[in-house]
Structure 1
Amino acid sequence: MGPRLYAPSLTMPHQNPDGPVAKRQKVSGVVAPAKSPANSSRIFAPFRTVGLVSPTTVPFTSIPLGKTTFQITTSVGRSLQTYDLRRGLNLVFITRPQTPFDITASYAWKEKVLTAWGDGSNGESQGLWVFQRGKKVDELTLPSDINEPVRQIIVFGTWIVAAASTRIEIFKSATLEHYTTIHTMAASERGNEITGGITSMPTFLNKIFVGRKDGWVEIWNVSTGKLIYTILPPSPDCGAVTCMEPTPALSLMAIAYGNGPLVITNVLTDKRVLQIEAGNPAAPVTCISFRTDGMGAGHDGRKDGVMATATPATGDVTFWDLNSGGRVMGVLRSAHNPPSRDQRGIRGGVSKVEFLAGQPVVVTSGLDNSLKSWIFDATPFSPVPRILHSRSGHSGPVNCLQFLPTDFDGADAGSKWLLSGGQDRSLWGWSLRRDGQSTELSQGNIRKKAKKVGILSTNALAHGPTTTLEDLKAPEITCIATSLNRDGGIGAIPGKQPMWQKGQAQNKPGDAEISGMTGWESVVTAHKGDSFARTWFWGRKRAGRWAFPTGDGTNVSTVAISPCGSFAVVGSEGGCIETFNLQSGMPRQRFPSKLTPAQARQLRLQQLRQADDVAQLQSESGRKFPRGTGKHTKAVTGIIVDSMNKFLISCSLDGKIKFWDFLTGSLLEQLDWAPMTAPIACRYHAANNLLAFACDDQSIRVVDMETKKTIREFWGPQDAITDLCFSNDGRWVIAASRDRIVRIWDLPTSHLIDAIRLEEPCTALSMSVTGEYLAATVEGKPGVTIWTNKALFKHVPTRQISEKEIQLVSAPTVSGEGNQGMLDGAYEDDQQEADDVVVAPTVEQLSSDMMTLSLVPKSRWQTLLHLDLIKERNKPKEAPKAPEKAPFFLPSTTGAAPLAGQQKPTDVAEDDSKSRITKLDKARFEEMFSTKLRTAAASNNCTLIDIVDDEFIEHLKSLSPSSADLELRSLSVGDGDDESNELLHFIHALTARLMARKDYELTQAWMTVFLRLHFDVVMESATLLAALQQWKSHQEQECNRLDNLVGYCSGVLCVEDLERDQKEADGIMKSRATIKYIFFGYLEDLDRSVGLLLGRHLQKRHNDTIHVALELLPLVVQHPVEHAEQDNRPRQLLDEPLQQPAELVDIAILDEPLVQLLVNQGARVKVKRAQELAYEALHNGPPARHLVLVLVLGVGVQAAEEDEGDKVRALVAERLHERGAEQGQAGHVPSALVVSVD
Structure 2
Amino acid sequence: NQRSSSSSLFSGFRVLGLYSNHVPHALRYHKKHREFYVVTAVGKCFHTYNVRNNDLFLFSISCNSLPDDIVCVAADRMLVFAATGKIINAFARNKEVVMRYQGHKQEVRLLLPLGDQLISADSGGDVIVWDIQEGDIYLQLQFDPVTFDVSAMMHPSTYLNKVLLGSSQGALQLWNIKTSKLLFTFPGWSAGVTVLQQSPAVDVVGIGTATGRVIIHNIRLDETLMSFTQDWGPVTSLAFRTDGPPIVASGSPQGHIAFWDLERRQLVTQQRHAHGTAVAAATFLHGEPLLLTNGADNAIKVWIFDQEGGGARLLRCRQGHSAPPSTICHHGNDGKNILSAGQDGTLQSFSTVHERFNKSLGHGWFNTNKKKKGLIYEELRLPAITNFSSATARQSDWDGIVASHRGRLATTTWNYQRCTMGAHHLQPPVPHRNAAATAVDITSCGNFAVIGSSCGRVDVYNLQSGLHRGCFGNNDKAHGGTVRGVATDALNQLTLTAGSDWLLKFWRFKTKKEEETLKLNAAPASMILHRESGMLALALDDFTLLVVDIETRRVVRKFAGHQGNINDMTFSPDGRWLITAAMDCTIQWCSPLLLLDFWIFDIFLLTFRDAVFKCHNRVCVASCLYVSMSPTGDFLTTAHVDSLGVYLWTNKSLCGPVGLRPLPADYQPAEEMLPGVTADELEQEVVSEEVDDAYKSASQLGAELVTLSLLPESRWKSLLHLDVIKRRNKPLAPPAAPAAAPFFLLTVPGLTPRFMSPAETGQETQVKDYGPSSVSIELTSLAAEGGGSSSLLLAFIHMIDSMLSSGRDFDLAHAYLALFLKVSKSQHPLLHLSSRLETGWAELRASFDQSLCLLSYAKSALL
For the superposition of Structure 1 and Structure 2, which TM-score range results when normalised by the shorter chain?
0.7 to 0.9
C-alpha contact 2:498 2:527 (8 A) present in aligned 1:
yes
Q: 1:375 to 1:176 in 2, by over 3 A?
A: farther
What are the superposed Cα offsets for residues 977-998 of structure 1, whole Å, 9 maximum, x if unpaired?
A: xxxxxxxxxxxxxxxxxxxxxx
1:712 aligns with 2:557: yes
1:68 CA displacement: 5.3
Match of 1:86 in 2: 52
Which of 783, 793, 813 is 2:645 aligned to?
783
1:569 CA displacement: 0.7
Match of 2:99 in 1: 139
What are the superposed Cα offsets for residues 274-322 of structure 1, whole Å, 9 maximum, x if unpaired?
A: 2333357xx2112111112231xxxxxxxx3x1111122x111011122
The one-letter code sitting in structure 1 at the alignment partner of 2:225 is: V
Match of 1:807 in 2: 670
Q: How does 1:1158-1197 map to 2 (within 5 A)?
A: none
1:396 CA displacement: 0.7
Match of 2:409 in 1: 531
C-alpha contact 2:143 2:149 (8 A) present in aligned 1:
no
1:429 CA displacement: 0.9
Which of 278, 285, 298 is 1:356 aligned to?
285
Match of 1:487 in 2: 395
Which of 303, 306, 310 is 1:383 aligned to?
310
The one-letter code sitting in structure 2 at the alignment partner of 1:728 is: P
Which of 270, 283, 300 is 1:371 aligned to?
300
Match of 2:323 in 1: 396
C-alpha contact 2:485 2:498 (8 A) present in aligned 1:
yes
- Matches of 1:64 and 1:187, distance apart in 2: 35
1:399 CA displacement: 0.6
Q: How does 1:1005-1044 map to 2 (within 5 A)?
A: none
1:520 aligns with 2:398: yes
- Matches of 1:81 and 1:272, distance apart in 2: 38
Q: 1:277 to 1:538 in 2, by over 3 A?
A: closer
Match of 1:328 in 2: 267
Match of 2:126 in 1: 167
Match of 2:535 in 1: 690
The one-letter code sitting in structure 1 at the alignment partner of 2:43 is: G
- Matches of 1:137 and 1:127, distance apart in 2: 10
Match of 2:523 in 1: 678
Q: How does 1:876-955 map to 2 (within 5 A)?
A: none
Query: Helix, strand or coil: the match of 2:356?
Result: helix
Q: Which has the larger Rg?
A: 1
Match of 1:467 in 2: 376
1:573 aligns with 2:461: no
1:199 CA displacement: 0.7
What are the superposed Cα offsets for residues 248-270 of structure 1, whole Å, 9 maximum, x if unpaired?
A: 22212222222333333322233
Match of 2:69 in 1: 102
Q: Output the aligned Cα RMSD.
A: 3.0
- Matches of 2:72 and 2:500, distance apart in 1: 49
Which of 250, 254, 276 is 1:309 aligned to?
250
Which of 198, 216, 223 is 1:264 aligned to?
216
1:149 aligns with 2:107: yes
The one-letter code sitting in structure 1 at the alignment partner of 2:49 is: Y
Match of 1:940 in 2: none
Q: 1:186 to 1:152 in 2, by over 3 A?
A: closer
- Matches of 1:637 and 1:704, distance apart in 2: 19
- Matches of 1:103 and 1:95, distance apart in 2: 12
The one-letter code sitting in structure 2 at the alignment partner of 1:286 is: T
C-alpha contact 1:68 1:86 (8 A) present in aligned 2:
no
Q: 1:445 to 1:722 in 2, by over 3 A?
A: closer
1:771 aligns with 2:633: yes
The one-letter code sitting in structure 2 at the alignment partner of 1:688 is: S
Which of 171, 174, 177 is 1:222 aligned to?
177
Unaligned runs of at least 5 residues, structure 1: 1-36, 121-125, 296-303, 338-347, 407-413, 456-465, 489-518, 595-627, 818-889, 895-905, 907-1238
- Matches of 2:642 and 2:428, distance apart in 1: 30
Match of 1:946 in 2: none
Which structure features the higher share of strand residues? 2
- Matches of 1:576 and 1:636, distance apart in 2: 7
Query: Helix, strand or coil: the match of 2:632?
Result: coil
Match of 2:691 in 1: none
Query: Helix, strand or coil: the match of 2:466?
Result: coil
Query: Helix, strand or coil: the match of 1:141?
Result: strand
C-alpha contact 1:157 1:206 (8 A) present in aligned 2:
no
1:293 aligns with 2:243: yes
Query: Helix, strand or coil: the match of 2:318?
Result: strand
The one-letter code sitting in structure 2 at the alignment partner of 1:139 is: M
C-alpha contact 1:593 1:665 (8 A) present in aligned 2:
no
Match of 1:739 in 2: 584
Q: Report sequence identity in percent.
A: 29
The one-letter code sitting in structure 1 at the alignment partner of 2:149 is: E
Match of 1:584 in 2: 465
1:803 CA displacement: 5.2
Query: Helix, strand or coil: the match of 1:524?
Result: strand
C-alpha contact 2:204 2:218 (8 A) present in aligned 1:
yes
C-alpha contact 1:657 1:672 (8 A) present in aligned 2:
yes
1:756 aligns with 2:756: no
- Matches of 2:282 and 2:136, distance apart in 1: 31
Match of 1:1141 in 2: none
1:443 CA displacement: 5.8
Q: 1:544 to 1:187 in 2, by over 3 A?
A: closer
- Matches of 2:376 and 2:365, distance apart in 1: 16
- Matches of 1:577 and 1:732, distance apart in 2: 29
Which of 7, 13, 18 is 1:52 aligned to?
18
- Matches of 1:38 and 1:386, distance apart in 2: 53
Q: 1:736 to 1:803 in 2, by over 3 A?
A: farther
- Matches of 2:39 and 2:294, distance apart in 1: 11
Match of 2:705 in 1: none
- TM-score calculated relative to the size of structure 2: 0.72
Match of 2:825 in 1: none
C-alpha contact 1:559 1:569 (8 A) present in aligned 2:
yes
C-alpha contact 1:91 1:436 (8 A) present in aligned 2:
no
1:432 aligns with 2:277: no
- Matches of 1:256 and 1:329, distance apart in 2: 18
What are the superposed Cα offsets for residues 431-456 of structure 1, whole Å, 9 maximum, x if unpaired?
A: 1001011010156999x989x9888x
Q: 1:266 to 1:584 in 2, by over 3 A?
A: closer
- Matches of 1:635 and 1:710, distance apart in 2: 22
1:593 CA displacement: 6.4
The one-letter code sitting in structure 2 at the alignment partner of 1:308 is: A
The one-letter code sitting in structure 2 at the alignment partner of 1:658 is: K
What are the superposed Cα offsets for residues 944-973 of structure 1, whole Å, 9 maximum, x if unpaired?
A: xxxxxxxxxxxxxxxxxxxxxxxxxxxxxx
1:47 CA displacement: 0.4
1:555 aligns with 2:510: no
The one-letter code sitting in structure 1 at the alignment partner of 2:214 is: L
Match of 1:405 in 2: 332
What are the superposed Cα offsets for residues 383-440 of structure 1, whole Å, 9 maximum, x if unpaired?
A: 321111111111111011111231xxxxxxx210110101111111111001011010
C-alpha contact 1:550 1:571 (8 A) present in aligned 2:
no
Query: Helix, strand or coil: the match of 2:129?
Result: strand
Query: Helix, strand or coil: the match of 2:653?
Result: helix
Q: 1:797 to 1:742 in 2, by over 3 A?
A: same
The one-letter code sitting in structure 2 at the alignment partner of 1:135 is: K
Query: Helix, strand or coil: the match of 1:160?
Result: strand
1:745 CA displacement: 1.9
- TM-score calculated relative to the size of structure 1: 0.51
C-alpha contact 1:558 1:637 (8 A) present in aligned 2:
yes
C-alpha contact 1:95 1:131 (8 A) present in aligned 2:
no
The one-letter code sitting in structure 2 at the alignment partner of 1:745 is: C
Query: Helix, strand or coil: the match of 1:245?
Result: strand
Which of 36, 40, 49 is 1:74 aligned to?
40
C-alpha contact 1:733 1:746 (8 A) present in aligned 2:
yes
C-alpha contact 2:635 2:649 (8 A) present in aligned 1:
yes
1:61 aligns with 2:26: yes
The one-letter code sitting in structure 1 at the alignment partner of 2:354 is: R
